[in-house]
Chain A
């Protein structure tokens, strides 16, 4: 056994793979990306009997066909990294479908162990699995488990240790005679290319017959000619494409196996999930339930977080601003350093602390929806109206994740099959107000609309959704004229998620969020404080004969005053330059808007809230400002992800389109609410900008080189 054996966890989505990973590794895990792709990489460690084990949670996949990045990652890991043990987690309540991946893993000929999860659901569905019989057929250990309840970890770890000490290699799957004959001939042809490993040769031959493009690139052309000949022969004999023939044969083996080892006590015609779906997916009730659930998510995030924000704010302000300030005042440090540490870093941490509750509750709600199985139902319900705007229903999941954070939302578009759908959905994710925008909404709404805060916040979220739909319709008519990709999705059975699972899921997202956003926010706040201290001669005030020296103002004030006229049509007056600066800081991280507004509006004689209220003047300019925040360019982290996924062209489009749209909507709202003769000018300018965008997009769409397929 290796010094630190590597164990790979592989399985279909929603089989409890992550639950097992969490149970094995606990908090000793790191989350990142697989090199070169934005597929989540989870790695953890655990100790058992004095030995350290490395566990890799491979992405949830249905097969190893390398059709998606997830499948490619899983396959490449097993082939190149050669883990000491592959633990295949199989849903016992859906054995036949899950064994398809098992068969493909067996073909890779690596040491394996099979874990049958959801044994309780299988039992309640009347399924009885003869584990010993299954084990004897497969040729490697099988371990039954109920992952929702606390598993017997010591026993499981001992079994894993035993499998590592006595690795069991799976048997070979035999195909139809004509396929076997082709495999034998290709095996001989591949002998000079892969001389040592017999199993790898057979697997390569199989993949070549399946038409795997990655494997085909690695073999000489003469072999490809032989493959084409064999493919033609099999296809003519079976009247099917060869990949379908091989998949059918695998299922033939699985069907025989399950017939042998599974006894169905009672035919479960309608499961609990089926009965629930009758209501949840009902033609009339489905949509109201869907909107109710979404409203509930925001209600929880806003209502539950409010009291917690107050406590966190008070506690952190006391510790990091008051007490730390008092402590530093006792020492001999320069004023600028005290200011930097107390107001900059201390104040920054207080600001970050107040973001945690709403983001935490949003992530808890999303994790609950995902783990319970409702998210897939929501995608089905959403499909009806998603189709109308040119997207498949599956694109709803990344959009929903966008309410948590835009970065994972763009990453989640990877689950969509076509490039068109991936780009299209990615462009819409910034419209979904991320968790970072919630503190901004909460802060401003509590100042201007304290009575109906939840309703105003919900309307802001909805305005983002409405604008996403409008944008989607525009893009569908111009750039994305083709039909959305095919929609094939599993409806997982409903589960009661475990508290541990939800909290761990939430913790990973929150930790990632705090680390990523926290660093940026701190940097922005410190930078703003520094720019507020450095002064330059005021270019906006003319020196009179009576003035001895030119009045000096902070550099930040000058910058803010320079760009504030752009926001004048939205009701941002020239004395409210702080609002403009806050918008710039929001490009680094949306939460930084609050921090900037707070630190820039600290003036003696009145509270921060009173100063902000006085500068914005009324509710209409505040709401227009909030609408701008809902819609304008996402944070740098999201833009970086957009660049990584879709390139410079779409990055520029995102920034330009969203910022222009935000300005148009903010201006239209303010000018219509405060209508006067001057409003016509701004309404005209807004209409001209909108028309220009439409014309540019139409022109790009007509050009076949730019249209996305």
Chain B
């Protein structure tokens, strides 16, 4: 019988072994992560599965502007319409955008 501790370790090992990088369903190779967009570039949201950010206005097709993206910082600042958001780099990494458009 495995202890909880060993069960958790085994689960972690399994996740590492079978984890393949999954792109979003709309991924077509022509987009990049929002966290990789340099400031002060404009970008259009191409794929976003995070409901929290969608509800704040980062929906498909909206144009955003990266106001601050310093790789030494854990967050980026984006302008969405007239709103300004601080986005965690981990959240920004999951949002796919196309530069310009």
Q: Mark B42-70, 1 if CB is under 8 A from A, else 0.
A: 00000011011111110110100001101
B41 adjacent to chain A (CB < 8 Å): no
A274 to chain B: which residues have CB within 8 Å? 67, 79, 84
Given contacts A283-B70, A487-B86, A705-B4, contact A244 B48 (CB under 8 A): yes
Sample of 14 more A-B contacts, CB < 8 Å, known A244-B48, A247-B55, A387-B74: A62-B55, A96-B82, A97-B81, A100-B55, A244-B51, A268-B82, A486-B88, A487-B91, A488-B91, A489-B85, A490-B84, A490-B85, A490-B86, A704-B8
Given contacts A94-B81, A283-B70, contact A63 B55 (CB under 8 A): yes
**Is A679 an interface residue, CB under 8 A from the partner?**
no
Q: Do B59 and A251 have beta carbons less than 8 Å apart?
A: yes
Q: Which residues of B contact A268 (CB under 8 A)?
A: 82
The answer for the CA separation of A387 and B70 in the assembled complex, in Å, is 15
Count: A-B pairs, CB below 8 Å: 113
**Closest residue on chain A to residue B62 by CB atoms:** A251
Chain B positions within 8 Å of A702 at CB level: 5
Instruction: Say which size band chain B's interface belongs to.
Output: 35 or more
Give the contact stretch, choosing among A235-243, A297-305, A350-358, A584-592. Answer: A235-243
User: Are B55 and A65 in contact, CB atoms less than 8 angstroms apart?
Assistant: yes
- Residue A248, interface by CB 8 Å: yes
Q: Are B70 and A488 closer than 8 Å at their CB atoms?
A: no
**Considering the chains assembled together, what is the distance between the CA atoms of A188 and B74 in angstroms?**
48
A692 is an interface residue with CB less than 8 A from chain B:
no
* Smallest CB gap from B89: residue in A: A487
- Within the complex, the shortest CB–CB distance from A371 to chain B, in Å, comes to 17
Closest to B73 in A: A384
The answer, yes or no, to whether B31 is at the interface (CB within 8 Å) is no
Q: Beta-carbon contacts of A661-675 to B below 8 Å, as 1s and 0s?
A: 000000000000000
Residue A491 interfacial (CB < 8 Å): yes
Size bin of chain A's contact surface: 35 or more
Is A393 at the interface (CB under 8 A from chain B)?
yes
Contact A251 B57 (CB under 8 A): yes
Q: Residue A93 at the B interface, CB < 8 A?
A: yes
CB atoms of B53 and A488 under 8 A apart: yes
The 7 closest A-B CB pairs, nearest first, are: A487-B88, A239-B25, A491-B84, A251-B59, A97-B57, A247-B54, A94-B82
CA distance A577 to B59 in the complex (A): 65
Which residue of chain A lies nearest to B70 when distances are taken between CB atoms in the complex?
Answer: A283
User: Scoring A residues 252 to 289 as 1 if CB is less than 8 Å from chain B, else 0, what string do you get?
Assistant: 00000000000000001001011001000101000000
Give the docked Cα–Cα distance between A240 and B62 (Å): 16
Give, as a whole number of angstroms, the nearest-CB distance from B25 to chain A: 4
Chain B: which residue is nearest A121 at the CB level?
A: B82
Chain A positions 212 through 253: 1 when the CB is less than 8 Å from some CB of chain B, otherwise 0 = 000000000000000000000000000111011001100100
**CB < 8 Å: which of B4, B51, B56, B83 contacts A704?**
B4
For B75, the chain A residues whose CB sits under 8 A away are: 380, 383, 393, 487
CB distance from B79 to the nearest CB of A (A): 8
A486 touches B91 (CB 8 A): yes
- Within 8 Å of chain B (Cβ to Cβ): is A33? no
**Shortest Cβ distance from residue A310 to the other chain B in the assembled complex, whole angstroms:** 44
Residue in B closest to A122 when the chains form the complex, CB atoms:
B82
Give the one of A251, A273, A277 with max B CB within 10 A. A251
Known contacts A241-B49, A247-B51: does B81 contact A488 (CB below 8 Å)?
A: no
Q: With A244-B51, A274-B84 in contact, do A703 and B91 touch (Cβ < 8 Å)?
A: no
> In whole angstroms, how far apart are the Cα atoms of A248 and B82 in the complex?
18
B99 at the interface (CB under 8 A from A): no
Contact A490-B90, Cβ < 8 Å, known A94-B81, A273-B84, A383-B74: no
Give 19 A-B contacts (CB < 8 Å), ordered by A residue: A65-B51, A96-B82, A97-B57, A125-B82, A240-B26, A241-B49, A243-B51, A244-B48, A251-B59, A251-B62, A277-B67, A281-B68, A380-B75, A486-B90, A486-B91, A487-B75, A487-B88, A488-B56, A488-B86
For A94, list chain B residues within 8 Å (CB).
81-83
User: Residue B77 at the A interface, CB < 8 A?
Assistant: yes
B-side contacts of A376, CB under 8 Å: 86
